Amino acid sequence: MTTTDDRTAAEAPGPDAPGPATAARGFPDPYTIPTPPGAEGWREMYPYYNLFLDSRREKDSRRTWFRDSMHFPEPMPPFDIVTSDSAFMSTGVMNTRVFALPPALGLDVRVLNGYLYMSAIGVEDPDEVARRAQEFAVRVGHYYQNWPTLYQAWERKVRDQIAGLAAIAFPELGELEPVERVLAGRGVTSANDLLVAYQDVLASLDAAWNLHSELLNMGYAAYLNFLMLCRHHFPEITDQAVAKMVSGVEVLLFRPDDELKQLARLALDVGDAVTEPILAGGSPQRLRADLATTAAGREWLSAFDAASEPWFHFSHGNGFYHHHRSWSDDPTFALGMIAEYIGRLRAGEDLSRPLEAVAAERDTVVERYRSLLTTDEDRNAFDEALGLSRVVFPYVENHNFFIEHWYMTVFWNKMRELGELFVRFGFFEKADDLFFLRRAEVFDAVVDLQMAWCSGGEPLGPDHWPPVVARRREIHAALASSAPPPALGPAPDRIVEPMTIMLWGVTEAQVATWLAAQEAGEGGDGGPRVLTGFAGSPGVAEGPARVVLRPGELDSLRDGEILVASITSPSWTPVFARIAGAVSDIGGIMCHAAIVSREYGLPAVVGTGTATATIRTGDIVRVDGDTGTVTIVARADDPAAVS
């Protein structure tokens, strides 16, 4: 790394400084972004293949890079970058090598000041697009024609991966090799088992993320195909109208919340011996101890434990970070929601989602547009595209529970087992220190421990790693306090990659909105009174805003407030019964906030770009999910604002 990589804000040129590629209109050049104060040396935390290298400035400055704040809203701890590597590799290989998506390959990834940026790789040659289209038709056609069967097989493969990961064991490395192994003449020792176990964990992660993307890209492609067909026949149709046509389909991401509601009903059924301790709050450990003293309490605990496996392997965040623990790791949030549901049930509230109303509106919209088609050929094409979208839609959400939540909960805890082994030998003070090493550095630590255990000597890790970890924790905190730009480099001419459009909500129109916001200096006190984004879910709601930047702040949400977040996580689903509407910085028509809001009948505007920087908690805002606008009616400190 050159010295220019760690220039301070005072030393580095501004975003308008000339570079090798200066676009007429675009975002800051990645090579002109300064290092935040206190974060000097941050590049040492990431492998070279994740960095903007000076030797590539001519190439990388000419590309557009979008920050993936949907999946990676926080700076990445060094080890956690394995989730980004695996996710983007898997998305890329399915596009590029497996299904031969005609107009787009994969995504290049870079880390800047700890944050993830991605750049799509397109296919420009028309002949190559045509050649890939022929391959694509055969490959994806097989998947679409056999989707239910392939999905069932997919679920079995994922469950096998989860079971296989859980079964991986790190050796204890005791004083002596277990005598039964010696007498059996095994030969291979626990030192080798340690190395193999770490390799197996990483190989399992890679395989799981391959499975994650096996069906996902094609699911988005099917929906995008239906969207394009609708726009062809109905040029003025909104994305919202298209989304309504595939709504009302049951998906697994609602199951954990349904389990909480069922546990609340059970608590009321068995009586005060269960409801009163739950409503009293306190630690999960104290609650379990109290409930274990009565037959009713033990009955309820048995039901809670049954629901926990697997439905509470539900990350408080999105599963991509080691510190986003799941409900099964820390059930405080889940127990709090059960207590809230008990109160709502006692008040006579109906906790069910308005599925019938959503389905009725869906069918009305379908018939309205289908009746405008004038030929049997067009109606058949419409029916086939819509039917395929509905078939693939559940997977577009279900994969999230299986991989990001269930699998990743097991993965992070498996790595903590390795961290505890290192703690035992003095490498770290606590198991989570391991996540401040790169994956290759963990290999080095494994070899260090192997050599010391084999020789009976002392490992060097206890002298080497503690100060490194301490400094990296400081750097990570400094990176977390910085404000990374939403995009880098010149504005793109066009965007064709399905996931970029459908999931992240990055379109040519959205880029234009970001550019306008950048040029107008939007954000904070100087922000606009009206924000624009995607009309994620229909309806209009007005109320006080609650800006939630991290999962730990969810408990502050009050009934009737407007949730404003960078992006929502599926595990936030229970609070959608509490809010009046939702607004997000990032996301497209198929992002979680949009899907859940539609199922709950709440208005939502997603992909605003600057909502969390512009809206403050307590501001009175109006969310118009029909037009995709968010209006700041009154500021929190204005006389017109209502506390």
Q: What is the pLDDT of residue 1?
A: 23
Q: Which of 221-230, 494-503, 572-581, 616-625 has the lowest mean pLDDT?
A: 494-503
Please state, in angstroms and rounded to a whole number, the distance separating the CA atoms of residues 555 and 578: 11
Instruction: For residue range 235-277, list pLDDT tens digits in order.
Output: 988 877 888 888 766 778 889 999 999 999 999 999 999 999 9
- Say which residues have a Cβ less than 8 Å from residue 25's Cβ, sequence separation at least 6: 490, 491, 515
Higher-pLDDT residue of 69, 430 = 430
Q: Which positions ≥6 away from 212 have C-beta within 8 Å?
A: 87, 90, 399, 403, 404
What's the CA gap between 327 and 331, in Å, rounded? 5
**Those residues with Cβ within 8 angstroms of residue 98's Cβ, 6 or more apart along the chain or in another chain:** 139, 214
pLDDT given at position 23: 40
As a whole number of angstroms, the distance between CA 337 and CA 264 comes to 9
**Does residue 4 register a pLDDT over 80?**
no
Position 37 pLDDT exceeds 80: yes
Instruction: Give pLDDT, residue 525.
Output: 46
48, pLDDT greater than 90:
yes
What pLDDT does 595 receive? 78
Q: How confident is the model over 101-119, as pLDDT tens digits?
A: 888 888 999 999 999 999 9
Q: Rounded CA gap, 585 and 615, in Å?
A: 11
If you average pLDDT over residues 329-342, what whole number do you get? 93
Q: What is the mean pLDDT of residues 186-209?
A: 97
Q: How confident is the model at residue 470 (pLDDT cuts 50, 70, 90)?
A: very high
Q: Does 429 score more than 80 pLDDT?
A: yes
- Of 538 and 448, the structure prediction assigns the larger pLDDT to 448
- pLDDT surpasses 60 at 17: no
Note the pLDDT of residue 520: 62
Contact in structure between 551 and 638 (CB atoms under 8 Å): no
Position with higher pLDDT, 68 vs 24: 68
Model confidence at 634: pLDDT above 50: yes
User: Please, which contacts does 411-414 make with residues 24 or more away whose CB atoms are closer than 8 Å?
Assistant: 411/165, 411/201, 411/204, 411/205, 411/208, 412/322, 412/325, 413/329, 414/165, 414/166, 414/168, 414/201
With the C-alpha atoms ordered 385, 391, 394, 397, is the resulting torsion angle positive or negative? negative
- Is the per-residue pLDDT at 222 higher than 90? no
From CA 236, how far away is CA 509, in angstroms rounded?
15
Question: Average pLDDT of 325-333?
Answer: 92
Mean pLDDT of 413-417: 98
Long-range contacts from 408-413, C-beta under 8 angstroms, 24+ separation: 408/83, 408/315, 408/319, 408/320, 409/313, 409/314, 409/315, 409/319, 409/326, 409/328, 409/329, 410/162, 410/165, 410/166, 410/313, 411/165, 411/201, 411/204, 411/205, 411/208, 412/322, 412/325, 413/329
Domain boundaries, the chain: 3-96+104-121+484-499, 141-249+381-478, 252-346, 515-634
Which of 119, 112, 111, 109 minimizes the C-alpha distance to 34? Answer: 112
Please determine, for residue 16, whether its predicted confidence score (pLDDT) is greater than 50: no
- Give ∠ CA 508-510-516 in degrees, rounded to 5: 105
pLDDT surpassing 80 at residue 381: yes
Q: Is the torsion defined by CA of 237, 239, 244, 249 positive or negative?
A: positive
Average pLDDT of span 225-229: 90
Q: How far apart are CA 321 and CA 72, in angstroms?
A: 8
Mention every residue, 6+ apart, whose C-beta is less than 8 A from residue 363.
none
Q: Say what the pLDDT of residue 260 is.
A: 95
The whole-angstrom separation of Cα 412 and Cα 408 is 6
Q: Residue 14: is its pLDDT beyond 60?
A: no
Collapsing DSSP to helix, strand or coil, 221 comes out as helix
Summarised one tens digit per residue, pLDDT across range 139-170 is: 999 999 999 999 999 999 999 999 999 999 99
Residue 432 has pLDDT above 50, yes or no: yes
What global pTM score does this model have? 0.87
Q: What is the pLDDT of residue 213?
A: 92
**511-564 pLDDT per residue, tens:** 776 677 666 654 444 456 888 888 888 889 999 999 988 777 877 888 899 999
pLDDT confidence of residue 220: 81
**Model pLDDT, residue 346:** 95
Res. 12: pLDDT tops 60: no
Q: Which residues contact 289 (CB under 8 A, 6 or more apart)?
A: none
pLDDT band at 377 (very low <50, low <70, confident <90, very high): very high
**CATH 3.40.50.10150 matches 515-634:** no
DSSP class of residue 184 equals T
Is the pLDDT at 353 greater than 90, yes or no?
A: no
Q: Does 443 have pLDDT greater than 60?
A: yes
pLDDT at 225 > cutoff 80: yes
Q: Which residues contact 514 (CB under 8 A, 6 or more apart)?
A: 27, 486, 487, 609
Q: Please provide the average confidence, as pLDDT, over all residues in the chain.
A: 87
Averaged over 289-295, what is the pLDDT? Answer: 95
pLDDT of amino acid 3: 29
Q: What is the pLDDT of residue 243?
A: 81
Residues 6 or more apart whose CB falls under 8 angstroms from that of 586 comprise: 69, 70, 504, 505, 566, 567, 606, 607, 609
Q: How far is CA 240 from the centre of its chain?
A: 22
Contacts of 155 by beta carbon, 8 Å cutoff, 6+ apart: 402
581-584: strand order across its sheet: 530-532, 629-634, 620-624, 540-548, 562-565, 581-584, 604-606, 534-537
